[in-house]
Amino acid sequence: MLKISVKNKLEQLKLLGFLRTAESSLDQVITNNMGFEDFLDFCLDAELNDRSNRRIERLFTVAKLRYPSARLEHLDYDPERKLKKSDISRYANCEWIANYRGLIISGATGVGKSWLACALGAEACHRSYSVMYFNAVSLFDEIGTAISLGEIKNFKKKICSTKLLIIDDFGLGGFNQALAPSFLEIIDKQSQSGGLLITSQVPKKLWFEQFHDPTIADAVMDRILHRSYELEIKGRSYREKIYANKDNN
């Protein structure tokens, strides 16, 4: 049992992982005659692991992933999807994020674009990269709200402080063209500070039509397309597969 004074000091220093390990292992340490330095090293490792886990939890909380439980190890490599493990491994190492590159995931509706984006976002969190997820329509709504409240400067700063910005379902729903300059600035700043992951079922050649101003369209596309890798998911919608399986049972 740790002395109350020692316990209090560890709590004040917020060495909670150290404290839990010291309390739970002290009797075992005494029984096994573990040396003081080994015991200290053991508790410090526990503290470092605890801090790492807490940081990852905070990153997930901020990321607000649509599918927070999505993990790359659960990815479906059905041949019809045309996904290569070598490609996924290359994106999983997150070097493209560190190098301020982008990734565009395309494919028909329901093939798992959003899920894969969230799985890559989760991997980034586990590698200590900050992540923010937005559905494209929701992002434009938030930009509009920030402008109306006079908070757009802080909103841009918050978004562009993240190491990976995920914009899901880009090209669907359209948006108020008055928001285009702010969106361009966000994309521009993100291209200089971190990675950008976009999913879309809309062909890239139609992305320009989202912007009525061709100058802004060219600027946005230049910052997205010229710095991005591309990954296309083939195959049928998962919803179609589910219904087909039900019909066959």
Q: Which tokens hold the place of 111?
A: 């093939």
Q: What average pLDDT does range 116-140 have in this prediction?
A: 97
Cα dihedral sign, 157-159-160-161:
positive
What is the chain's Cα-based Rg?
Answer: 23
Tokens of 142: 């938030």
Encoding tokens for residue 13?
Answer: 């220093």
> pLDDT category, 239, cuts 50, 70, 90?
low
What local confidence, expressed as pLDDT, does residue 125 receive?
A: 97
- Render pLDDT for 154-189 as a digit per residue (tens, 0 to 9): 999 999 999 999 999 998 877 788 999 999 999 999
Q: Is the pLDDT of residue 249 over 50?
A: no
How many residues belong to the chain? 249
**33-61 residue pLDDT tens:** 777 777 777 778 887 888 888 899 999 99
114: pLDDT strictly greater than 80: yes
The share of the chain scoring above pLDDT 90, in percent, equals: 60
List 104's β-bridge partners, or say none: 198, 230
Q: What is the pLDDT of residue 211?
A: 85
pLDDT at 248 over 70: no
* CA–CA distance, 85 with 245 (Å, rounded to integer): 26
Task: Provide the pLDDT for residue 113.
Answer: 96
Q: Is the pLDDT of residue 27 over 80?
A: no
Which are the contacts of 189, defined by CB distance < 8 A and separation ≥ 6? Answer: 156, 160
Using alpha carbons, list the distances in angstroms from residue 102 to 73, 90, 133, 220.
22, 13, 14, 13
What is the band of 1 on the pLDDT scale with cuts at 50, 70, 90?
low
The whole-number average pLDDT for the span 62-82 is 95
Of 135, 68, 116, 122, nearest to 238 (Cα)? 116
Q: What is the pLDDT of residue 156?
A: 94
Q: How far apart are CA 123 and CA 125, in angstroms?
A: 5
Closest CA to 65 of 129, 5, 8, 131: 131
pLDDT (average), residues 12-22: 78
Is the pLDDT assigned to residue 246 strictly greater than 50?
Answer: no
List the Cα angle 32/33/35 in 5-degree steps: 125
Task: Give all domains of the chain, ordered by start, each with its CATH number.
Answer: 4-62 (no CATH), 64-241 (3.40.50.300)
